[in-house]
Amino acid sequence: MTTVVVVKKEGQIAIAADSQSTFGDMRLGAVDDARWNKIFQHEGSYFAICGSAAHDLVLQSALKKIKNLDFSSRVAIFESFRKLHPKLKEDFYLKPDEEEDDPYESSQMTVLIANQHGIFGVYSLREVYEFQRFWAMGSGRDFAIGAMNALYEQLDAEGLAKAGIEAGCAFDVSSSMPMTSYLISA
């Protein structure tokens, strides 16, 4: 899995991610991975994905193919992912099945988004959350959230994001350094 975080504080927004990929019991660290950065930028927004490693290239490609997607608000992000879902199935062969009693087809990915409009999380059934202060996803999320909560008053947005990733990497076996981070103005 991974540890990815977003933080918003005092007009600054930070997004950060660890660098480890995991294939079952095997891990691929940054020293051997030529493309270990888990964050990509698209039209002013930064995206970090949890789930299958395939999601990274799939989402980047899909975002380039579909025009007029909007990531400026919770509702706009929902509508954008609603437009993306059929393309993920048709063009990229997404298998949308998860649990039999799920109310909707799954997009199979969780995504953190950071841009000048805020910090957002998109979950597999296209649930979209906007966060006030910070959030984390991936297998190291609990450690990252704990660290960011404990240090929220002491650090700026960038420092909090780094502390979250460092905590995730210290305690989660599926996350490791180095990290990538980006800072933007809100």
In a domain, 12, yes or no: yes
Reported as a single tens digit per residue, the pLDDT across 127-162 is 999 999 999 999 999 999 999 999 999 999 999 999
As a dihedral over the C-alpha atoms of residue 72, residue 68, residue 112, residue 138, rounded to 10 degrees, the angle is 160
Q: Give the model's pLDDT for residue 41.
A: 97
Q: Could you tell me the CATH number of the domain that includes residue 111?
A: 3.60.20.10
Q: Are 175 and 18 in contact (CB under 8 A)?
A: yes
Measured CA to CA, the distance from residue 164 to residue 83 in angstroms comes to: 32
Task: Answer yes or no: is 112 within a domain.
Answer: yes
With respect to residue 30, please indicate whether it lies within any of the assigned structural domains. Answer: no
Per-residue confidence band for 125, with pLDDT thresholds at 50, 70 and 90 = confident
CA–CA distance from 158 to each of 11, 14, 150 (Å)? 11, 5, 15
Q: Which residues does 47 contact at the CB level (< 8 Å), separation at least 6?
A: 39, 40, 41, 59, 111, 112, 113
Residue 106 has pLDDT above 80, yes or no: no
> What is the pTM (predicted TM-score) of this model?
0.94
Residue 27 lies in a domain: no
In tens, the pLDDT along 160-173 reads: 999 999 999 999 99
68-96 confidence digits (pLDDT tens): 999 999 999 999 999 999 898 898 888 87
Please indicate, yes or no, if residue 8 is contained in any of the structural domains. Answer: yes
| pLDDT number for residue 102 | 80
**Looking at the 3D structure of the chain, how many domains does it have?**
1
Residue 158 located in a structural domain: yes
End-to-end CA distance of the chain: 29
In a domain, 123, yes or no: yes
Residues of the domain holding 116: 3-20+38-96+104-185
| 121, part of any domain | yes
Res. 183: pLDDT tops 90: yes
In this model, does residue 62 exceed pLDDT 80?
yes
